[in-house]
Every structure is written in C-alpha cells, then in structure tokens.
Structure 1
Amino acid sequence: MTPRARALIELLIDGQPHSGAAIADAIGISRTAVWKILHQLDDELGLGLESVRGQGYRLPEPLELLSSEAICSKLDRPARQRIGALEILDEIDSTNAYLLERGRQGRFNNGEICLAERQSAGRGRLGRHWVSPFGRNIYLSILWCYPLAPAQLGGLSLACGVAIARALQGLGVEGIGLKWPNDVHWQRRKLAGLLLEVAGEAQGPSRVVVGVGINLGLRAADAEAINQPWVDLTEVCGGERPTSRAARRGNGAGCHSPNRDVPVCHVPSRNVLAATLIDHLTATLLRYADAGLAPFLEDWRTFDAYNGEPVVLIAGQQRIEGWYRGIDCQGNLRLDTTEGQRTFAAGEVSVRLKPSAPGL
C-alpha cells in the first residue's frame, strides 16, 4: 500500500463523511487522484466505501487499525522481554509464509511477531483458505525456536489452543470450546483457528511458526467464502455485525440480529486482543519448552467441546466413524470404533461431527 493510500484510509477510519476537497488538501493531491485511489482501494480491499451526496466519502463503520505502539503498551513485562520484534503489515499473502521465509533465510529474531491488516492468501489447516478481509479480524504469526526435534512439538498446537481460549476468557468471553486439534469454537461454530508450521533438523533444533486467525467483525459479504459454521466476537459479545448504513436503514435485510440470549461482553479492540493473545502465546511457548504438553492437558480437557460425540475422521479418502473420547497424554485423539479404541495424531486427519450430531 502506498503512503498516500494509507493516509487516505487513516482519514476515513472514523466512519464519518469526508469531502473530496478536504481529503485532497490533507494528503496533497488532486480531487481526481483522490477519486482514483478511493475506488482502487475499494476494489482491492473491499472496504464497502460509501458516497454521501453533498458530504463526501465514508466507510460503513469506523475501523481500528493495528498499532505496534498500542499493542506493545498493553503487553505484560514477560512478553515484552521475550518478543524479538513486532511488525505490522498493511497487506501480505500470509503472515505464516512471511515468517517461514525469514526463518529459512536466517534473517529473524526469536520471538518475532507479524500481524497484518489483510491477507491475500491466508492459510488454514490442510491447505484451506482463511478469509482475511482488511481491518476486520486478527491475523497473527509468531516465530519461535526450540532446541527440540520437530517430532517433539506434536502437542504444541493443543497448548496454543489453550492459550487462545484463556486469552479470550480473560477478556470476558464465555462459552469458548476447543475442537481437536486446533480450532476454537463458540456454540459449535468456528471463532478462531491455529496453523503451526515446523522446520528444522530431524534431531533439532526446530523453528515453529504459530499462526492465529480470530474472527472479530466479519461482514456478510466477507463471509460468503466460508464453507463451515462460523461466528465472530461481535456476535459472541452480543454486538451488531458490520453492515452498510443502507441496510441498517432498510427493513433489516443484511443486518445482524444480536443473540440476546447469550452473555453480553465488551467487544475487545483489535489492539487489546492482539496484545492479550501475545501475552498468553509467549507464556505458552516458553512453558512448552520446559514441560511439553503435560501442563496444558487439564485445561484442554476442560475446554474440549466435543468429548463423547459421534464423529467421522477423514484421512484422505478414508472415513472412520466412532465416538470421540478426548485426548491421551500425547495429545492424540481417542476414538471408540466397532473394532475397539484407536488413537490418531493430528497429521492429515480432520474431524467432523456425524450428520445427526447438532451443529453440523
């Protein structure tokens, strides 16, 4: 993003109308150039830009951009001491891919963190696409080094899942559940996900990139590409999902109706949410180096949202049905089948509730 485009967005993030003349004067360009940049940004970023007759241009609602200063000011002391660097990018293909490449080239600091306002090729587990609109959610990756072999990091994704659940709980979010191996759910809908990618020598040391995506305030248009039940923190906290002012003035079409039957909490700011996640994740990454998965097992089982449910495990073309019985001490999934209990490592296995189970 060019400096002028960034400056233009910073003018509009208050959600109020700004005239083309005022924008042109503030940035030092012509009104024609303002119009071109605005429409280019709207096309590329899907901002939902609105033109108000006689007033100018505005965003459908205010946006909070990420700020390294705001995030660092909210970190606890241990996290501030352990992170190697914190970088915020306007746009990147994938924060995970970015840090993996830095690690491969040897140009990194242990504990390096990358956040992005938007990902053009956000990645989820098993090669899935992670929907990553501009300025709406959290897309965060941490690069961490371990003296351990990659095989010893098999339980780290479960430990990091606990860290995310605890971070959200600390912000007043209730009803958080974990779905093996690395999804964070609320009322059986996906709220957040993890993607861990490991590189290193067979006997160690290892570099791991922990990627976290959290839905904070998705618009309906942004969510059209999501192919599973989902939720964002705006809904969880009883707020109103971002939509256009025209929809809000109309008959309700396109509007989100908050679920008033759920506990209402304060929707966290993006910078507070990012700082809280970093606090919990860095503490978890440090503790895992000393003690492995063991200290996190009890918490994981407490958050486990699907223990005892009928499920289908999918491994390539193979489908295995059974009853999910939680995890063992290594973090492997336990499945009761007609042939007895079996265990499965995360690997390339995914879990689905059977069609008869609620929430599918």
Structure 2
Amino acid sequence: MSENKYKQHTLKLEIIKQLSDGQFHSGEELGEQFGISRAAISKHIKGIQQWGITIHRVQGKGYQLSQPLDLLNAEVIQQASSVPIELIPIIDSTNQYLLNTMGDKPSGSVCIAEYQSQGRGRRGRQWQSPYGSNLYFSMYWKLESGVAAAMGLSLAIGVAIVDALQGLGAQDIKLKWPNDLYYQDKKLAGILVEMSAQTGGEAHLVIGMGLNIDMQIDQEVIEQPWANLNQVFQGALPSRNEIVIALIQAWHTVLEQYEVQGMQGFVERWNALDNFKDKPIKLIMGDKEVHGIGKGINAQGGIVLQTEQGLETYVGGEISLRKA
C-alpha cells in the first residue's frame, strides 16, 4: 500500500486508538481532539466500520466499541526481536507487500497488519481479515538450500506455530496437512508459502499466516468451521504483541533448523500433532476423490493414506484434505 494511501487512514487509526479502551467517547470530544466537526467524526466512524469493527452509538453517550481492542505495538515487538519489523495497520496483503519489497530487506524481515483488504489463503481463497481481531503476519526468508527444499516448508512452519503457542500455555492445537492449524476440529490458522524468485542456489520465499485470535464473525460467513485463539486460552489470552514476539522467535528457530535438516527433522513432530492421524479422510483432486485412513506424512512431506490398495502417498499441488 502506498504511503499516501496510508496517510489518508491516519485519522481513522487515531480514532480507533481512542476507542480501543472500550469506553464511550462522544463525537464532540473526538472532534475537539482532532480538530474536525462531529459530522466528520461520524463519516470516519462509518469508514472504520467497513474494516470489520463493530461500533455502537448511544444518544448522549457517544461511540463505543463492542469490545476493547488489543492493538499491536511495533516498538514493543521490535525491542524483543532481532529482525526488522514493519507494522502497516491497513494493507492489501502482508504477503504481497513482502513479495513486492523483499529486494531491499534482509532474510527474516517481518510485516504485520491490523487489517488486510485482500488477504488470501491457499488456491486464491480470500482470508477474512477484520481489524485488530486476528493476526496477519508474513516473513521473508532466503532459503539457501533452494526451491526443491521448499516443498515441506508449510509443514515445518505449522510445527513452529504450535511451538510458539504452546510456549505461551496453549494446549490441544493440532495440524492439518498441508498448511492449517486446528483446534477441536475447527480451523484456527492458515499458512501460505509463496516464492518470488530463485537466484543462484537460493529460493526467495514469503511465508504468511492468518491466525484467528478473537474474531466476531457469523460462522456462516466462512465456508468451514473455525476457532479463535481466545477459546484455546479460555479467556486468559496473552497480548497480541506477546503472540507476535513468540511467533517470530519460533519461526526463526525452525527455519534455521530446516536449512540444516530439511523436512526429515520435522516428520515425527508433525505426525504427533496430526489432527487426522488414524481417522477416515478423503483427498480431493479436481473431480477425483481418494478415501482412506490418515497415516501422517512421510520424509518428503507427502500425506500417507491407508487405502484398500495399501499405503499410498500424495504430494502437494491442488489437493484438499477433508474429514471423510
């Protein structure tokens, strides 16, 4: 997103900061604070609501969020991190931003956002991205071992996310092949690995994640059952800044390990976290379906099924895994 586009949102972002405490703020008070009319405040509030924030207006009291917002703080995150952090509150897509700008960034650079207007998941699906409710997080990584080694990367990153969340006290988080995190059979997070280019023996990758933290959207809006991290922590949720810091550290640890060991270093750990281990599943490949019992992944990161023909392995591409 261009700097000019960001500037036009500055006032809205300041209003959100004021409202983030969950208290009432009158239009008059906000207008005085920002040097604009109450009518202008009302117009900005309408714009903010389009970002997925619920704001109530009560006559005589003013505006109030449906619940307080735990906003990200770039300074806090940067102080605890050894890599460059960019917080761009309103963005098209954190992955696309890093794909466009990675040329002048060191490996490990991170972009986080409060809201994505064009967040995307696997196979071009849109990722629902309401402001301040979830985590939209991408990292640029220069994979020294090259593009062939990148095949199992989303599996290793899944393990890294579980490591980070378990370190904060989360339990019962599982993995779904090839790129999702699950809690109680519902989707908690998705991973998207995209490659920009290869130079010499290096692959230039952007690894993105959308993590549901406290999303207040009707279940029907999203095509599959989903869970919030708030449910995992049963209301005792760490701050979003703590979550980002833990994720950055875990991703770095796992990516450095992946450079040395490749996918083989993660097979046992991934299989221990497999949400569909020993359960009936089906793989959907275009018009074709394969039914079997999930048997985890192999050393190359392929999904293994026990079928009537015996053990069969399927690798990436346009394959969807579903509960049978």
Which bin holds the TM-score, normalised by the shorter protein?
Answer: over 0.9
- Contact kept, 8 Å, 1:313 with 1:351, in 2: the verdict is yes
Matched, 1:19 2:16: no
Aligned to 1:232: 228
Q: Which residue, 146, 157, 161 being the options, matches 1:160?
A: 157
Q: Which residue, 167, 171, 192 being the options, matches 2:168?
A: 171
Aligned to 1:282: 252
> What's the C-alpha RMSD, in Å, of the aligned pairs?
1.6
Q: C-alpha displacement at 1:180, in angstroms?
A: 1.0
Matched, 1:296 2:266: yes
User: What secondary structure is seen at the aligned counterpart in 1 of 2:127?
Assistant: coil
Aligned to 2:70: 64
Q: Which residue, 322, 325, 331 being the options, matches 2:292?
A: 322
| Runs (4+) off by over 3 Å | none
Aligned to 1:213: 210
Matched, 1:313 2:319: no
Matched, 1:86 2:82: no
Matched, 1:38 2:59: no
Task: Provide the rounded CA distance (Å) in 2 between the counterparts of 1:189 and 1:339.
Answer: 30
Q: C-alpha displacement at 1:299, in angstroms?
A: 1.4
Gaps of 5+ in 1: 240-265, 355-360
User: What secondary structure is seen at the aligned counterpart in 2 of 1:155?
Assistant: helix
Higher strand share: 2
Q: Kindly report which structure 2 residues correspond to 1:2-151, keeping only aligned pairs within 5 A, or say none.
A: 2-42=9-49, 44-73=50-79, 75=80, 80-81=81-82, 83=83, 85-103=84-102, 106-151=103-148
Task: Provide the rounded CA distance (Å) in 2 between the counterparts of 1:337 and 1:314.
Answer: 15
- Contact kept, 8 Å, 1:149 with 1:200, in 2: the verdict is no
Task: Provide the rounded CA distance (Å) in 2 between the counterparts of 1:70 and 1:267.
Answer: 18
TM-score with structure 2 length normalisation? Answer: 0.93
What amino acid maps onto 1:197 in structure 2?
Answer: E
Task: Provide the rounded CA distance (Å) in 1 between the counterparts of 2:201 and 2:244.
Answer: 30
Task: Provide the rounded CA distance (Å) in 2 between the counterparts of 1:269 and 1:224.
Answer: 28
- Contact kept, 8 Å, 1:150 with 1:199, in 2: the verdict is no
What amino acid maps onto 1:17 in structure 2?
Answer: F
What amino acid maps onto 1:102 in structure 2?
Answer: T
Q: C-alpha displacement at 1:202, in angstroms?
A: 8.3
User: What secondary structure is seen at the aligned counterpart in 2 of 1:54?
Assistant: coil
- Contact kept, 8 Å, 2:90 with 2:115, in 1: the verdict is yes
For each residue in 1:146-192, what CA deviation from the matched residue of structure 2 results, as whole angstroms up to 9, or x when unmatched?
Answer: 22221111111111100001111111111111111111111111111
Q: Which residue, 219, 236, 240 being the options, matches 1:270?
A: 240
- Contact kept, 8 Å, 2:186 with 2:225, in 1: the verdict is yes
Q: C-alpha displacement at 1:7, in angstroms?
A: 1.3
Task: Provide the rounded CA distance (Å) in 2 between the counterparts of 1:14 and 1:213.
Answer: 24
For each residue in 1:83-141, what CA deviation from the matched residue of structure 2 results, as whole angstroms up to 9, or x when unmatched?
Answer: 2x2111121121111111223xx233221111111111111112222111001000100
Gaps of 5+ in 2: 1-7
TM-score with structure 1 length normalisation? Answer: 0.84
**Across the two proteins, how many residue pairs are aligned to each other?**
317
Aligned to 2:4: none
Task: Provide the rounded CA distance (Å) in 2 between the counterparts of 1:204 and 1:35.
Answer: 54
Q: Kindly report which structure 2 residues correspond to 1:190-209, keeping only aligned pairs within 5 A, or say none.
A: 190-201=187-198, 204-209=201-206
What amino acid maps onto 1:311 in structure 2?
Answer: I
Q: C-alpha displacement at 1:203, in angstroms?
A: 6.3
For each residue in 1:280-336, what CA deviation from the matched residue of structure 2 results, as whole angstroms up to 9, or x when unmatched?
Answer: 011111111122122222211211121111111111221111111111111111112
What amino acid maps onto 2:27 in structure 1?
Answer: G
User: What secondary structure is seen at the aligned counterpart in 1 of 2:241?
Assistant: helix
